[in-house]
Every structure is written in structure tokens, then in C-alpha cells.
Structure 1
Amino acid sequence: MSQHGEEPTTANQGQPRRRSAPWRLFTRTLSKAWDGNIFSESAEAAFWQALSLAPLMLGLLGLLGYVGDWFGRSVVQQASGQIVKFSETIFSGEVVENIVGPTVEGMLNDGKGAIVSVGFLIALWAGSSAMSSFVDAITVAHAQYGVRNEVWQRIFALLLYMASLLLLIIGLPLIAIGPDLLPRFFPEPWRDVIATWVSWLYYPVLGVLLVLALATLYKLALPRKLPWHRGVPGAILAMAIFLLTSASLRFYLSGLSATGYTYGALATPVAFLLFLFFIGLAIVGGAYFNSAIEELWPAKPTRRQRRKWRRLELERVNMELHTEDDKGRRGRPASTPRKPRRPAKQPAAEEASEDDRTAEEPAQEAGTSGPAPSDTEPPASRDGQDGGRAQSLSPPGVKPS
């Protein structure tokens, strides 16, 4: 406060205070997610995931049966055990015991023969429905839905689903080895050290691989692709949302089962659908987070995008030029007569002779039937030469001679 009791004025006084960047990002993400109806999209993804579970297991374990011919039957059994064990960390015990476990066992025994059937192709199409719902939700989050043709987008989701199946087939033997069997592949003196490192790094590395896979999905799903690193923040947020929501749901279900107030026969399907809903919520929420980041801090165009935009701009300019030329040709007559050039000024004598010639031409045309008049006759006799009715040139009162 100054000596006179007045508060000092600042330059920024009266201007609205600008919000911080994290708060703007948080509010923008919530606004975009709410406008995009994130809960309906997550519920749709959960529904298609539930319908795609059996086809997914059929394709995954059916192909794994052929991999077992290379790695051995024990590896296939260990892989199926790791699938069930990993499912226990995601779903509740009832879901794994009543849904996931029997599905894995049935597909592992019968899937190899069914892979060559027409039903397997139908299963591939049905299994890709979950991937298609995620691709649609990601494109909606970035306001790019409809840029890609709808039929091609469905086929594109099928191709992504088949690529993910192949990656899972390659990665399942590594998952089957697990943190317990991996140290056995190293020499005896190193096994204790390797076992310690594996016990600490196995699940973090698995989480990093999942984050990389989600970032790749966020990049490939968009028709107008962003740089790959732009999908990493949304992938990290998706992992955080899923871990938080799944842990909360597991805690709630464990407390609910302890009190004895359950849904009875519907408890397992309801819990399973809730887990799938949170998976969809995490992936779609990560897409909206990436979209908010792109809106607040747009990414610089890549070199490939700059070349493409320059090519499209040149094509647009050429098309406009051709359009203007076509309009000009349609508005102009087919053969436009040109005006003759104006002759240079001639001398006065030449102009007078030209006037005399133009005046004599009609007279010559009129007198072609009779003899040409002589030059000594006056103009009046020439004009009145019609049978001797020439007018006299004598003064009045005098008889002409």
C-alpha cells in the first residue's frame, strides 16, 4: 500500500486470470469426453468385447495349437495356464473360474481342428467387432469419423485384429515361460541374479509393452495420423484408469461377496461386463486425452505430411485454373469476328479521289444500257437525257435556237 493509503495498480489488473495448462487440459478432456458420450461408447465396446471373447479364444488358441507343434505340447499348456493366471489379475475369481477357464480349456482341445472351418472365418469377423468399436471411438474422439470409408474402416479393423492375433501368438510362448522359468535358460552362476531382476522387471516390462501397443493403436486407427509419440500420454492414462478401476471393482466385489449380498447366478456375468466396461472406458478415455492435447498444443506436421499437402495444394491450384479456362471458353462465342484494322490517314487528295470514284460507280452502273455521255455536256443534260426534253439555258422570254 502506498503512503497515501492507495493500493498500487498493476498492468494486469482487471484482466481475467489465465488458468494453468494442466487444469485447461483436464477440463478440456472432460468436456470432449462428455460431448462425445464416452459412457455409451465404453458400453458399446464392452458389449462387443463380450461377444468377441469366444471368437478371440478360438483364433488365439487354435493358432497356438500349431505353434505347439514347434515348441512342444508343454509350452501350450503353460501358455494356457499363464492366460488363466493373467486373467486372475484382471477379473474376479468367479469370472475366471466360470467363463475364462472353461473357454480356454475347450478351445485348446478343439480349436486346432476348427481353425480350417468356415466357422473360424466367421469367428474372425465376429472377433474383430471389438476392435472395430475401438477404432470408431478413437476416430470420433479426434473428430475424424467419416473421413475413412465405412466399409474400408470395418475391413481395416479386421486387419488390425488379425495382426494383433499374430503378435499374441508370437508373444504367448514368452508369456508361458514366465518369471519362474526364464532364469533356467541362463548359466547356473547367473540364475539368482536373473531371477531377482526378472521378479522386479517382468510385470513393468509387460506394462510398457501394453502401453506401446495402445500408442500404436491410437496412431493406426486415425485416417489423418499423428506422430507416434502423441499416443503415449493417452496410453499411459488408459493403463492408469484401468488399473485403478479394476482394483476398485475387485475390492468392491470381494467386500460384497463377504457380506453375502450377491446377484446370485447373475453375479459372474455382471462382474465380467463391468470389467469389460472399464477396459473400454480406459481406451476411449485415453483417446479423448490425446485429442485434447492435440487441440491445445497441435503437433507439427511431419515431412511426409508436408510433401503430401504441397502436392494436394498444387493439384487444387491446377484444378482451379482449368475450371476458370473452361468457364471462359463456354462464355465466349465459337468464332468471334475480329474488327479490321483501321487504315492509316491518307492525304486529302487521295481521300477526294476515293470519294469521286465511289460517286461515279453508281452512275456507271445506271448508264450501262445507253451510250456514255460526253464529258462536255453539262450535268443537267446528263441527268435529263430522255428523248429531247432538255431544259433550255436561254434567259426567259427568248426563243431557243
Structure 2
Amino acid sequence: GDFAQASLHLWKALKALGRPLPTSNFDLCCSLTWSIIRYVLQRLWVGRWLAGRAGGFRRDHQLKDDVRKSCREAALVYHRLHQLHMTGKHAGGHLSAINMALSAVNLADCAGNTLSVATLAEIYVGAALRVKASLHRRFHFLARFFLCSARQVCLAQSVSIPPAMQWLCHPLGHRFFVDGDWSVRSSPRDTIYSTAGSEGAVDPLAQVTQAFREHLLEKALYCVAQPEQSKPLTEGEGEFSDALEYLQLLNGCSDAAAVTNHTFSISSSMAAVTGTDPVAKWWASIIIVAINWLQGDDEAAQRLYPVVEYMPKSLHDYENMLPKAALYTFKAVRTLFGKQDSTQVSLGQCEKASGYLRDSLSSSPSSNGNVDK
């Protein structure tokens, strides 16, 4: 948790590699200009041709391997520093951060096969994050190029896209990343709708993924609350097909959440590390059960009863009573559907649900989150 020391050691590592960070505005301008030129050359055949001959034009394979390994180490250090900067744990302005992101991309391209595909894709996504964080909205389209590069390096090597990045390849995820209104905090926080995870403190993508999970939950709830169709249903579609699509994607994102005990290290790829967001999965399950009830599919709803009954411990400990209100509403409806002469029991559970809902509304009257609304 000592990110100041981590930042200092990364700075020293770059200096040891002969690539110290710029110390003056003039140095920064020169470095950034060269990074931009080098990136443009990398996109052209000239840059790729030179990158393929890193280590010299002579066929000294050992020297070339050493140069590529040096590029790999430098790229990883730049990338980690950039992540620390984006999460507010490394000082510097926007120009310095752009320079770090581009330097990581350029050096990663030169590293060749010494760098894993997952890490290379993660570096490209980091550059896309920087575009959104530092450039004006009219330049946010540039993030698409870095996202496409991340996807292409995986497909070119016939490697599956890292689980933590798969949502970026979905049209809804891609649109949310490029056009969505999200931000990265220095201290990520858990909410009653999703879990930030241990990686959120140093991995900005984990925070954006959390925001996307809540966005999907909001979209699904909106479809359930206002199921009117704006377009005619095609064959095979149901009334809540859009909501179910959002919830299916939400479950996939929750399964790939970076909620692990994985430690921050230079050589590892955070994108390849997965865990589970139990809070988001619980909300997705309870909404799917509600949809199944509305569709009259009791058998499908019953399959999810055990998941909904086991509410995550973090929600039990939360001050906001909304999750408990949702849980007792579920219990009331399940009781009503499950047994004859169970009206009184169901009414008692409804009373508990309404009490929790009243407490939730009184404890957070100024809540203006989209999901809360």
C-alpha cells in the first residue's frame, strides 16, 4: 500500500535503464514530441520495419533479444507509472501522463514476443484510458484506435481476449468506454450495487469496469420498469429481451471482475487476473428472477432462488437498507407463489420490505445516482 515508494522505485528503475523521466518542461515537450512521432512511425511500415530490427541490422540474435527484453522492462515500468498516475498516486500533469502512456506503447511494440499478448493489450487499453482522461471530448475518438489495437494483437496471435477486457469488445462496452461519462478515482469505493475489488486502487480499468457493471444494471432496471417496446419484436424475442441481454453481459463482467488477492507487480498482467463481483451478480440474479416471474417462467426463476437467498455479506453490513428491502420483496413473492394459504406470511415479509425501503429512503434522501433513481 506504499504507493509513494513504489512510484519512487519505478522512477529509479527507468533511470537505471537509461530512460529517466523528463525533469523540465522543455525536456517533456521534446520527449512527448518524439513519442508522438515514434508512434506514428510504428503505425507505418517504417516503424514496424525498424522495430523488427531492434538490436541492430546485423543478425546477432542474442543482442536483439537483450534489446527486446530491455524494451519490455521499460514498457512495463512506464505502464505501471502511468497506472499510478491515473489513480492519483504519482505526481505529474496531463502531458507527462500522455508521454508515459505513449512511451509504454512504443516500447511494448519493440519488445516483440518477449512481452505477453495480455500485457500488450493491457498497455493499449491504458493508452485509451489516457485519451479519455486527458484529451478534450472531440479527441475521444482516438481511444477507438487503441482499443482496436488491443483487440487486433489478441486476434493476430490467435489468443483469446483477456477476461477483464472482453466487455470492451462488446458493442455496448465499446460505446460506454468511448462515449460514457466515467472517471477514475484515487480511492475506489464499493457500493450497494457493485464491488470495486482490490485491484481498483492501482488499476484504472477495474474502476471503469465497475462503472460499466452499474451502467448495465441501470439499463436492465429501466427496461423492467418501462417495458414498452420502441421497436417491433422479431421472432424469438421476448418482452424483456433487452433487459436479459444487459443482465447476461453483467454476469459476464462480474465473473471477470478483478476482485482478487493479486499483488501489484511489474511483470504480471492485471487483465489476465480474474475474480468475481458477488454484489453485481446478486443484483443481476434478483432482476432475472423478477423477469422470469413476469414471463410466467417459474421453473427458470426457481433455479436462481438459492443465489438470491444468499445475499453477499457486504450488503448485510451496509448502512443502506435497499438490498434488504429487495431481498424481503423476493421472499414475499416467492412465499405467495410457493404455498397455499401463505398470504399472512407474505404480508409480513412485505411489511419488512416496506420498512427497509422506508429506512433506505430516509437514510439517503440526497442520493442522485442513476441506479438509485
What is the TM-score of this pair, normalised by structure 2?
0.25
Higher relative contact order (CA 8 A, sep 6+): 1
Write 1 or 2 for the structure with the bigger share of helix. Answer: 1
